Structure 1
Amino acid sequence: MDQILDIIGLFPVDQIKTLACLLTSYPFALIVKRLPSANAKHILNIILGVAYCSFCLGQWSWIHSFASSLVVYGLLMVLPKRFAHLVVFGFCMLYLSISHIYRMMNDYMGWTLDYTGPQMILTLKLTSFAWNLYDGSRPQDQLSGDQKKRSIKKLPSLLEYFGFVYFFPTFLAGPTIEITDYLNFTSGAMFNDERLKGKAPASGFPAFKTFIRAIICFVFVFISGDYAPYYLATDAFRSYTGIFEKIVRVHIHVALSRFKYYFGWYMGEGSAILSGIGFNGFDDKGDAKWDRITNVYPLRVEFASNIREVSTYWNIGTSDWLKRYIYLRLTPPGAKPTFFATFAVYSTSAIWHGFYPGYYVFFIMSTFLTEVAKDMRRKLRPYFVKTIETPTGPQEKGTVLKPLYDIVGLMCTEWFLSFFGTSFLLLSIESTLQIWETFYYLPPIILLLSFFILRYIVPTPRSGSKSKSQ
């Protein structure tokens, strides 16, 4: 018993409460899956979402999610559809921004859990909902296939809407869900397949596998306690004489810090799968897929060979939101992606996270890292991958040096992200500059020089030697 109490004592009370809610979501997920009507599911979601919020974050913390959601619903009722989604986007970001500022004023540099966490997830849900309603009012020939699939023609009822807002498996820690997925799940339309006959497929085993992944990640959460990121800004770290040891330590500290996110997302995803909403059709073998709301692929993140892969497999729900409702809305169909669109994505992401200076350092440097990766793919990769014409069409074939290109890309991507990730974790400019000074400011200098050289000096290979984009 003493050992159990010692383990519990490693975590703050608010985190223990959140863990308890994440665990109890599993039996409740079984219940919501078996409820006979959509309205019963909405009611249970609302009750549990409010209860979780009150238990974990404070008795009246749910007022924020309720009030902001009600204002959004009212705006969409009374404003013209041609610009209501923009007003909603502005309101949600403003509400979240004020919440972040209030938190900074009352708990500066603190890590206490409060309502801003669920509010961040809710901001994604409410803004995507407004965009989906806007797309539903547009001519079909102006929509992409993805926009058609996610668009809705009319406002749902308040019961449906708040069931979506408080969907309990993902309310506290995410991942985010879209209104169309939620309504198709609660109505049973998601399971309108002759192989299912209107019933959700068995979800126990896939939910169990996801839960086991969460437990594995939890082991690394324990280990991360001995590798706190703040250590990187101390004199003890600066005293290391070997540059290689410093490089390795930076990566270890930052990489281990990601496992608390892996754990939380897997816990939410597991209970969502158990409820049935994670169902995503069938694969080529006829087996059910359960990746509808998968939010991360840890191994692909940890061994990504470029930042595009990191963005693709890390915090997928937020990345998809940034892509669908920021990046693609600023990039007309057929047009080339611009630096401004990339910068807008990272700026929005920074504001969504809050106003600590470290966030902005990280996302500004990530913008340049993304642009360098694009230029490397466009200007250097063709020398390592050739396009060969075959009877079935052009195919890519790597040269003997392609593995070297991939290894260098992996090492550079992972370490530069870890290095700049320290500012994201430590939050302050002072700590960031301390770490940069430890490395003589070489990483940001190398990154900015690479951007300039690749963008303005290195020529683009002739089209005949370019590799086909993936």
Structure 2
Amino acid sequence: MGRTVTAVTTSFCFQMLYLLAGYYFTATEHYDIKWTMPHCVLTLKLIGLVLDYYDGRKEAAALSTEQRRYAIRGVPSLLEVSGFSYFYGAFMVGPQFSMTQYQDLVKGELTDVPGQRPRSFVPALKCLILGLFFLVVYTVLSPYIPDEYLASDAYLEQPFWFRCFYILIWGKVTLYKYVTCWLVAEGVCILVGLGYNGKDEKGNPKWDACANMKVWLFETTPYFTGTIASFNINTNAWVARYIYKRLKFLGNKLLSQATSLLFLAIWHGLHCGYLVCFQMEFLIVMVERQFIDLIRDSPFLSALNSVTILQFVFYVIQQAIHWMFMGYSLVPFCLFTWEKWIKVYQSVYYVGHVLFFSLLLVLPFMRKIFVPRKEKLKKAE
């Protein structure tokens, strides 16, 4: 089909329909480890491959800086496409990388020592050790906070504060299994050189080209947007590059973001829990951004937020809210079926939906109270 819109459309439809058919015929009510898991990673790779090939037909001036970096000018061979698709360091759980990155790896260009193998053993080992640390934490703690307990009668009999606190701790620990997989896979990519990302201002090599986790940010950020920026980085970057930014023709960032999250939900599987999880993420991020803007634009709230003694108190409260509702969003993602996750949401009286929908309605009125008219006019200008 060549470098055409027909090729892009056909490839996208085929890859997604094949994946969704796999989900339909093999999915159960539990977390499934089967061929669909690596295939969902492959689906993104092949969709991105065709889009990069399509971009290769355009003049450099017509492409963005990012598109120029990934555009494929030649025609990859079958061997190159196979190596790219089934590269052992990333075929199971990611990370995502482009054909041009893979070609640079094969040419021996991804190294901090030109003409020699990369000196990447130590940074790769650090990733492995960090991944094993989170593996131990998850292995030790997860038996005490199993997913099944959330849908049990014993959980429903607990007081409301306990049910909320359990969701908070459970959500935090549940994410560690993903952290473990991504850190170990990143270590493999670093070891072979795929993780090489040039050098910093001081001339030190950077090995974060395949980073799927920013562990320190993940553990310390009090913001939902901070967790999103630190978690599953390469997949989020892939969606931003190939879905969100290519929906620019819609003329609405919010609509583009909602469509991108819808794509992510469908890509994860056919369970309704995925849709609910990403809908909740969209709502929380939208409210959080409005709240941050409110504090920034309000002299009173900004002054209050800058009081040193109060900063620690605010941080603790933010973290509690942050991880409580991160766990709340994960409930349908991990329990999958309607019968299970709706039971949990009912037990906590849909507290996340009630709180964030209420804030969405209240925040415009709060702006009128806390933001002076001159600040509003300045922002409008």
Give the TM-score taking structure 1 as reference length.
0.73
Match of 2:56 among 129, 136, 144: 136
Match of 1:355 among 270, 277, 281: 270
Query: How do 1:129-168 residues align onto structure 2 when only pairs under 5 Å count?
Result: 129-168=49-88
- 1:338 partnered with 2:233: no
Further displaced range: 267-276 or 80-89: 80-89
Supply the distance in 1 between the matched residues of 2:299 and 2:278 (Cα, whole angstroms): 29
Supply the distance in 2 between the matched residues of 1:130 and 1:318 (Cα, whole angstroms): 17
Structure 2 residue runs of 5 or longer lacking an equivalent are none
Match of 2:306 among 381, 399, 410: 399
Post-superposition offset of 1:160:
1.0
1:219–1:378 distance in 2 versus 1, CA, 3 Å: same
- Report the equivalent of 1:238: 156
| Aligned amino acid, residue 5 of structure 2 | R
Contact 1:327-1:345 within 8 A present in 2 as well: yes
Contact 1:369-1:447 within 8 A present in 2 as well: yes
1:153–1:307 distance in 2 versus 1, CA, 3 Å: same
Supply the distance in 1 between the matched residues of 2:367 and 2:285 (Cα, whole angstroms): 17
| Aligned amino acid, residue 231 of structure 2 | W
Query: How do 1:377-396 residues align onto structure 2 when only pairs under 5 Å count?
Result: 377-383=292-298
Contact 1:359-1:427 within 8 A present in 2 as well: yes
Contact 1:210-1:269 within 8 A present in 2 as well: yes
Supply the distance in 2 between the matched residues of 1:382 and 1:414 (Cα, whole angstroms): 26
Supply the distance in 1 between the matched residues of 2:149 and 2:378 (Cα, whole angstroms): 43
Query: How do 1:45-444 residues align onto structure 2 when only pairs under 5 Å count?
Result: 78-104=1-27, 108-191=28-111, 196-223=113-140, 224-241=142-159, 243-331=160-248, 338-383=253-298, 399-400=306-307, 406-444=315-353
Post-superposition offset of 1:381:
3.2
Supply the distance in 2 between the matched residues of 1:102 and 1:410 (Cα, whole angstroms): 40
1:274–1:82 distance in 2 versus 1, CA, 3 Å: same
Post-superposition offset of 1:374:
2.1
Contact 2:168-2:327 within 8 A present in 1 as well: yes
Question: After the TM superposition, which segments of 4 or more aligned residues of structure 1 sit over 3 Å from their partners?
Answer: 384-387, 401-410, 455-468
| Aligned amino acid, residue 85 of structure 1 | V
Supply the distance in 2 between the matched residues of 1:385 and 1:163 (Cα, whole angstroms): 58
- Determine helix, strand or coil for the equivalent of 1:169: coil
1:433–1:92 distance in 2 versus 1, CA, 3 Å: same
Contact 1:174-1:268 within 8 A present in 2 as well: yes
Deviation by residue 1:184-217 (Cα, 9 ceiling, x = unmatched): 11112334xxx72322331111111111011101
1:171–1:413 distance in 2 versus 1, CA, 3 Å: same
Supply the distance in 2 between the matched residues of 1:464 and 1:338 (Cα, whole angstroms): 24
Structure 1 residue runs of 5 or longer lacking an equivalent are 1-77, 388-395
Contact 1:304-1:414 within 8 A present in 2 as well: no
Supply the distance in 1 between the matched residues of 2:346 and 2:50 (Cα, whole angstroms): 45
Supply the distance in 2 between the matched residues of 1:139 and 1:202 (Cα, whole angstroms): 36
- Determine helix, strand or coil for the equivalent of 1:328: helix
Post-superposition offset of 1:447:
1.4
Q: Which has the higher contact order (CA 8 A, sep 6+)?
A: 2
Contact 1:386-1:467 within 8 A present in 2 as well: no
Supply the distance in 1 between the matched residues of 2:377 and 2:334 (Cα, whole angstroms): 39
- Determine helix, strand or coil for the equivalent of 1:287: coil
Post-superposition offset of 1:362:
0.8
- Determine helix, strand or coil for the equivalent of 1:225: helix
Supply the distance in 2 between the matched residues of 1:206 and 1:157 (Cα, whole angstroms): 32
| Aligned amino acid, residue 440 of structure 1 | Y
How many correspondences in the alignment? 374
Deviation by residue 1:229-252 (Cα, 9 ceiling, x = unmatched): 2211211112222x3332221111
- 1:453 partnered with 2:362: yes
Post-superposition offset of 1:140:
2.3
Supply the distance in 2 between the matched residues of 1:225 and 1:110 (Cα, whole angstroms): 16
Post-superposition offset of 1:421:
0.8
Post-superposition offset of 1:260:
1.4
Post-superposition offset of 1:286:
1.7
Contact 2:19-2:40 within 8 A present in 1 as well: yes
Query: How do 1:36-47 residues align onto structure 2 when only pairs under 5 Å count?
Result: none
Deviation by residue 1:169-192 (Cα, 9 ceiling, x = unmatched): 11122222211111111112334x
1:450–1:201 distance in 2 versus 1, CA, 3 Å: same
1:381–1:434 distance in 2 versus 1, CA, 3 Å: farther
Contact 2:118-2:192 within 8 A present in 1 as well: no
Contact 1:237-1:246 within 8 A present in 2 as well: yes
1:443–1:431 distance in 2 versus 1, CA, 3 Å: same
When the two chains are superposed, the root-mean-square deviation of aligned CA atoms in Å is 2.7
